Chain A
Amino acid sequence: MSLESRRSFIKKAGATGLTFWLGLSYVKGASAPVISTAKSLTPFIKIDASGITIFNPNPEMGQGSYQAVASMIAEELEVSLDQITIKNTSGEKEFGAGQWAGGSSTVREGYLTYRKIGASAKEMLVKAASQTWGVSPESCTAKEGKVLHAATNRSLKYEELAEAASLVEIPKEPKLKDPKDFKMLGKAVKRPDIPLKVTGKAEFGIDADVPGMLYSSVERCPVIGGTLKSFDASAAIKVPGVVKVVSAERVIGKYSSTGVAVIAKTYWAAIQGRKALKIDWDTKGFETFNSSDYENKLRALSKEEGILDKQKGSVDLPVNQVVESFYETPMVAHHPLEPMNCTVQVKGKKVEIWTSTQVPVSVTGPGMMGSMPAILGINPEDITLHAGFIGGGFGRRLYFDYIVEAINVAKQVDSPVKVVWSREDTTTQGPFRPMTFSKMTGGLSEKNQLVSFQHKVISPGFMDSAMPNWDKTKLDSMMTEGISSQEYDIPNMKNSFVFADYHVPMAAWRSVTSSTLAFAHECFIDELAHKAQKDPLDFRIDLQSTNTDTKRVLKKLREITNWDKPLPAGKARGVAQWDFFAGLSAQAVEVSLAKNGAVSVDKVYVVIDLGTVVNPDNVKAQVEGAVLMALSAAIHPAITLKNGVVEQKNFDTTPVTRMSEAPEVIVEIITEGTKIKGVGEPGLPPFAPALGNAIFALTKKRLRKLPLEIEFV
């Protein structure tokens, strides 16, 4: 930043008091901070007379970014977490493109950037103090929010140095701390959001309370793909408390559909009004759609050649033994416990929004998941967002369809309106994790070496769901995620993708397509190991030709499970690993047979590979959660459509893991990885295949379909 622009900025900041903002533009994936111009200033640290504030641009949805971001900055700034105020950002322009949460990216992509932001500010504060005292910066130290000059026993608080520090040039390459001196990073520091969450004080999107607020419940076409033809609100408007009934469009990716919103003085009245609506839907032929027919279509499409994902050697060479299998996985819903909701006030051109979102940046302008203002034809400058704590994201809140719809409702009334989806709305309206079917082919040599491997994915596509003009003959690489990047050294390989047309909105679900493809891939590796008469864990280790991260992780798993020690009779275990964009983990699942013949999932061992760890206790929590989410999807009914309508409505028909079902989860963290890897998602993909493989070891039944068709305790 030039001195000129800095001064003009300080002048601006000065209007709100004595303020020091550190401006470093946060560039996603950047390894070094980019010194910004005033125009793209992205301040993450604010120091003024009232104290030190650190801004968290990665929305907190349970993954721990609220602490992680603050810790990475505070560690280098030399302040403790109880000396600072943490604020979540809300898509404000000055905080830049990184304002979103997903892809296990907060630490994976931000580790060095956030530390450099803290380190730069510390150097500037030290320099300001040294200039004040007329001593060398080297003779000063920063500690606990103060700069000290030991020789003369002088000290100044950061708050006192803020103004002078704002005039110091931003260091281009701030010196980072030696990890051995870390006070917070790598340690199980208590999360500062937790006291708010155990006292009911944490404000989630649904807790927005705007004076004069009305409430709305929206009836949407039960047949997915259908939309509004006409409606009769004459009975609804007579329900006491109902104020107005309007139609409102919801847009998600290439899909749009119009529903009927009942606006009332209380949410209860809105629900009663909604029940009294008479609606004629245009179901566009989708009213005859059944998931079972679509599954048959996917099976038939598996005979097609498909679009190439990756090829190596030749899979047409003769082999001693060919093994073929077909795996099937279903759609599932995200089930965040906070139902979809959004509160909006429209005043003229101005739109003010209160909600829970994983993509504040896209709600206020162009960003990670596109631009909501562009879809609505609103000037980004006219949008103000208040982003709350998120009551569960899991990918669902990467999509802003519920915000678009709420704005379309609020446009038609003078008061602010809170639109709250019921649980049934949240479950039945999508978007969903896509189903993937997998045709697997393997070839073993005479010496039982795995010499060829093919994974063909048959599924609908994310890109087709997201974009109206997606070229369906192109590879949708999100649908083949991970299948060509496992560290198995197999000389001949061919992976491909067959696109299947669909009309249901698709969404990333924690660990995205790895959550289904790993099941097919890693169960099939297990099948090959058994065909080759090898131990399934050693088979995987032996397929690593070099010292890969995967090899280290599998060896650690071998060690912590006492792999060579046989389990007692009636118990068995299975293993799987998965290496994908978010990170790497390997798991062993222990199962046993209960008296009634049902399978009991007893214990899960997880090794997760990270290049570094910010909070080991939080890593454990994330892995425990990922395993239980994978368990839900592996054993409980999925989402299916009958006559175009989602059959499951609430937690009775699409259950999630409850306490009585939860197995013991043992987590081992490795930090010697070759790069910084993610935390939130990698604990998920290996679970379902490890469970399937354990069930095979226990019962000799090879289950190739999710949810697993066997009785569980």
Chain B
Amino acid sequence: MKTIELSINQKVHRIEVDPEMPLLWAIRDIVGLKGTKFGCGQGLCGACTVQLDGQAIRSCQTPVGSITAKQKITTIEGTSRLEKIVQAAWIEHQVPQCGYCQSGQIMSATALLKSNPKPTETDIENYMSGNICRCGTYARIKSAIQTAAKNASKTVKS
């Protein structure tokens, strides 16, 4: 057991855990933020995606002890400007069905738009193919990312 400081959504949490515990379980069960989901435990489905310093990571594959207090973790409960734009696009295109994968999809999509504000359809497919949606909402996810990209660039200009 070790005391670890995690900065999640701009709030610092001090937790006592086995440093080998995947970040996923620390976020869900110790910190209590349930929006990040467990899907496969092997980094194959993307349901557990969060951002570490703006980059999408699979929290089920990231030991909590590998993260320093200076690194910024963002989960679906975080409310950045870009994330809100992405969420609004998700509502506009009525993306979710069961919704279980969508936290991970949105965290991946937001990370994509941070590094590539105007992704092509191929960019989106390449980046998002690590996130499984068993309900099959991919076409809507693609449209929503394109809408979000458009709206984000508008907001920047204004």
Contact = CB atoms under 8 A, between A and B. Distances in A.
Interface of A: 61-64, 188, 190-191, 193-204, 206-207, 209, 215, 240-241, 266-269, 335-339, 389-394, 420, 422-424, 617-618, 621-622, 624-629, 650-652, 656-660, 662, 664-665
Nearest to B142: A659
B94 A190 contact: yes
A662 B139 contact: yes
B125 A659 contact: yes
B39 interface: yes
A64 B44 CA distance: 27
A268 B97 contact: no
Interface string B132-158: 111111111110000000000000000
B94 A194 contact: yes
Given A198-B95, A625-B97, A268 B21 contact: yes
B95 A423 contact: no
Contact of B18 (A195, A268, A393): A268
A200 B103 contact: yes
Contact of B138 (A64, A335, A659): A659
5 contacts: A198-B106, A200-B33, A628-B138, A651-B40, A659-B131
Given A200-B35, A267-B29, A337-B132, A423 B21 contact: no
A204 B100 contact: yes
B34 interface: yes
Nearest to B35: A200
Q: Is the interface of B mostly helix, strand, loop or mixed?
A: loop
A209 B137 contact: no
Interface in B36-93: 36-42, 44-45, 47, 75-77, 87, 90-91
A85 B40 CA distance: 33
Contact of B136 (A64, A198, A651, A657): A657
B119 interface: no
Contacts of A61: 98
B4 interface: no
Given A62-B97, A337-B134, A650 B102 contact: no
Contacts of A665: 139
A311 B94 CA distance: 46
Nearest to A239: B18
Contacts of A266: 17-18, 21, 25, 29-30
Contacts of B90: 194, 198
Given A199-B76, A628-B138, A656-B134, A391 B99 contact: yes
Contacts of B18: 240-241, 266, 268-269
Nearest to B104: A337
A193 B135 contact: no
B45 A337 contact: yes
A337 B103 CA distance: 12
Contacts of B125: 659-660
A263 B142 CA distance: 42
B115 interface: no
Contacts of B36: 200
Given A200-B77, A266-B21, A423-B42, A194 B96 contact: yes
B37 to A, nearest CB: 7
A266 B141 CA distance: 34
Given A197-B99, A207-B34, A625-B136, A650 B94 contact: no
Given A200-B103, A338-B100, A651-B40, A209 B135 contact: no
Contact of A339 (B38, B44, B138, B139): B38
A199 B96 CA distance: 11
Which 9 A-B pairs have CB atoms at the shortest separation, nearest pair first?
Answer: A200-B35, A197-B99, A391-B100, A628-B136, A62-B98, A62-B97, A200-B76, A625-B136, A207-B34
Contact of A420 (B1, B34, B38, B77): B38
A650 B76 contact: no
Given A190-B91, A200-B77, A651-B132, A662 B98 contact: no
Contact of A203 (B34, B96, B135): B34
Contacts of A337: 37, 39, 45, 47, 98, 100-101, 132-134
A658 B131 CA distance: 7
Contacts of B117: none
Given A203-B34, A624-B136, A650 B91 contact: no
A203 B33 CA distance: 11
A62 B95 CA distance: 11
Contact of B99 (A193, A209, A423, A650): A193
B100 A664 contact: no
Contacts of B101: 337
A243 B75 CA distance: 31
Nearest to A622: B97
Contacts of A625: 97, 135-137
A660 B125 CA distance: 5
Given A240-B1, A339-B38, A420-B38, A627 B22 contact: no
B103 A267 contact: no
A61 B100 CA distance: 9
B40 A650 contact: yes
B40 A423 contact: yes
Contacts of B96: 62, 193-194, 197-198
Contacts of A338: 37, 39, 98, 100
A511 B112 CA distance: 36
A16 B44 CA distance: 49
Nearest to A334: B134
Contacts of B131: 659
A389 B96 CA distance: 12
B44 A652 contact: yes
Of listed B29, B75, B100, B101, residue having the most chain A CB within 10 A? B100
Contacts of A651: 40, 42, 44-45, 132
Contacts of A617: 94
B41 A209 contact: no
B99 A621 contact: no
Contacts of B77: 199-200
Contacts of A393: 98
Nearest to B122: A660
Given A199-B87, A423-B44, 15 more contacts: A62-B96, A63-B97, A194-B90, A198-B106, A204-B37, A266-B29, A336-B98, A392-B100, A628-B138, A650-B41, A651-B132, A657-B138, A659-B129, A660-B126, A662-B138
B42 A652 contact: yes
Contacts of A389: 98-99
Contacts of B142: 659
Contacts of B91: 190, 194-195, 198
B41 A629 contact: no
Contact of B129 (A62, A335, A629, A658): A658
B44 A209 contact: no
Nearest to B97: A62
B93 to A, nearest CB: 10
B92 to A, nearest CB: 9
A596 B99 CA distance: 36
Nearest to B34: A207
A627 B38 CA distance: 25
Nearest to A196: B99
B75 A336 contact: no
Contacts of A624: 136-137, 139-140
A507 to B, nearest CB: 16
B124 to A, nearest CB: 8
A629 B25 contact: no
